[in-house]
Structure 1
Amino acid sequence: MHAVAGLLVGAIVGVTGVGGGALMTPILVMLFGVAPTTAVGTDLLYASVTKMFGTAVHHKAGTVDWQIVRRLALGSLPAAALTLAWMHFSHVGQLRSGLITFTLGVALVVTALGILFKAQIHSLGTRFRLGDSARFKAMQPAMTVLCGVLLGAMVTLTSVGAGALGTAMLVYLYPLRLSAGKLVGTDLAHAIPLTLIAGMGHLALGNVDLALMLNLLAGSIPGVVIGSYVSTRAPVGPLRIAIAFVLLFVAWKMVAR
């Protein structure tokens, strides 16, 4: 069953760039009874490997903007390292499961809203980009790094946000530069180092079930490769909307536990 869950989530990640943490972590907690801290840590390492295969497909198709990836990583990787250090010294990893579950629920709501209002966010970015082009372009590098900082902290704490929130930020900052396929590919590529560093940190904190991770990867690797090929050839908007409503339902269930 773990491999089946990995296949499903891997395919969704490949198609939409969303779901590595937002879908898998709740599945591990609610369906398989995995402790929330272990679910977060295991999911981060699982996501890093899964997204490597998806990114390889997108890179081959030319749908990764590596300059944007570097800008995001400049903010997200130090933020992830600092968040891990804070977790270690403040013993956040030992927080009771209820609080961690509640935090995950809140992160899922934010993620779902990012998906649902993606078009409006893109429209706002386009308006600013066309209205004051020189100023907007001058701010892009620094704003991208800042978005990376926010993603780094959030993903390290909850394993959620690298996909949906990352794409929401990118459609605002680069409304004319990124096609739908390039948006997914760029987001996937940035998620690799972020989830890998965060996952290794959680491994050091004892929050990773390696056997579970391998079972998930058995399904997710073929799933993400298939999904990545589909994403470059088919519209994914309806699927993203459906995922958003699923996330809102899951968030409600987690917060109400």
Structure 2
Amino acid sequence: MDFMLMSAGAITGLLVGLTGVGGGALMTPLLLLVFGIAPMAAVGTDLWFAAITKLFAMRIHQHHGLIDWQVVKRLWIGSLSASTITLIWMKLYPVDDSAVILLKTTIAIAVVLTATGILFQKQLHGFGRYLRTTDSEHFIQWQGPLTIIAGAVLGVLVTLTSVGAGALGAVFLAYLYPLRLTMPRLIATDIVHAIPLAMFAGIGHLIIGNVNFILLGNLLTGSIPAVIIGAMLSARLPHKWLRIGLAIVLFSIGAKLWLNVWH
């Protein structure tokens, strides 16, 4: 048992329960920067960490009837298909030592994009609400196809980096479903979509040999009780300030990871 790993799991689990964000955007950079885990092992292990952690949060949200299953299914159509294609590509063209810098750079960019998405989620939600109320016919017509495309983008990004399912998924949903999804429903729906995606991508990484089970066990020991607490508190805390604080942390981590790669 490693107290530092358990603490990292607990902090990340609490954030996942509260905001739906952090399973990949926070944990993968921590594994790279703080614990010195190899990039592919960090990605593969984090996918299972995120999936299992969010599974416990889902039970809380499902109990409160917050999950929009139609939206989840649309996302799955895009994300699981894209994840399959990405895994086949990774199997045919394995990530070797020469590609490690590219992978770390991609993770850093994904983390910064996640932070940017969190900061501008309110503006995108407002823009989506404007389009939904002024041109509802066309907006509703494109809602389904755009949700599938959003899922595909998440599928590729999560399979390659384990980052994006939480924050970027929430940003897409805030724009595409501005009236239908309240913040608690958006978080619950986003978390449920991420679970099979992370598991699916995680199975591929498991087959490739990128999962560290001892590392995973330590992280889950901290995250499981913490994510349950976070999910129970999710509807009661001010999401605005939580997300701003999280965005600042992610910007810092993304910048640190970028500097770590190129200096």
Structure 1-normalised TM-score?
0.98
> Does 2:159 correspond to 1:180?
no
Counterpart of 1:6 in 2: which secondary structure? helix
Q: Distance in 2 between matches of 1:91 and 1:4?
A: 32
Counterpart of 1:176 in 2: which secondary structure? coil
Aligned with 1:52 (options 36, 51, 55)? 55
- Residue in structure 1 matched with residue 226 of structure 2 by the alignment: 223
- Residue in structure 1 matched with residue 103 of structure 2 by the alignment: 100
- Residue in structure 2 matched with residue 238 of structure 1 by the alignment: 241
Q: How does 1:11-90 map to 2 (within 5 A)?
A: 11-90=14-93
Structural RMSD (CA): 1.0
Q: Distance in 1 between matches of 2:98 and 2:176?
A: 36
Q: Distance in 1 between matches of 2:113 and 2:234?
A: 24
Question: Alpha-carbon deviation of 1:93?
Answer: 5.6
Instruction: Report Cα offsets for 1:97-144 as digits up to 9, x if no partner.
Output: 322111111111111110000111001100110011111111111111
Instruction: Report Cα offsets for 1:141-181 as digits up to 9, x if no partner.
Output: 11111100000000000000000000000000000001110
Q: Distance in 1 between matches of 2:210 and 2:45?
A: 7
- Residue in structure 1 matched with residue 195 of structure 2 by the alignment: 192
Aligned with 2:206 (options 200, 203, 207)? 203
- Residue in structure 2 matched with residue 249 of structure 1 by the alignment: 252
- Residue in structure 2 matched with residue 117 of structure 1 by the alignment: 120
- Please say if residues 3 and 219 of structure 1, whose CA atoms lie closer than 8 Å, have aligned partners that are also in contact: yes
Instruction: Report Cα offsets for 1:184-218 as digits up to 9, x if no partner.
Output: 00000000000000111111111110111011111
- Please say if residues 37 and 93 of structure 1, whose CA atoms lie closer than 8 Å, have aligned partners that are also in contact: no
> Does 2:115 correspond to 1:139?
no
Structure 2-normalised TM-score?
0.96
Q: Percent identity?
A: 50
AA matched with 2:100: S
Q: Which runs of 4+ in 1 moved over 6 A?
A: none
- Structure 1 unaligned segments of length 5 or more: list them: none
AA matched with 1:193: P
- Structure 2 unaligned segments of length 5 or more: list them: none
Q: Distance in 2 between matches of 1:146 and 1:96?
A: 27
Question: Alpha-carbon deviation of 1:95?
Answer: 4.6
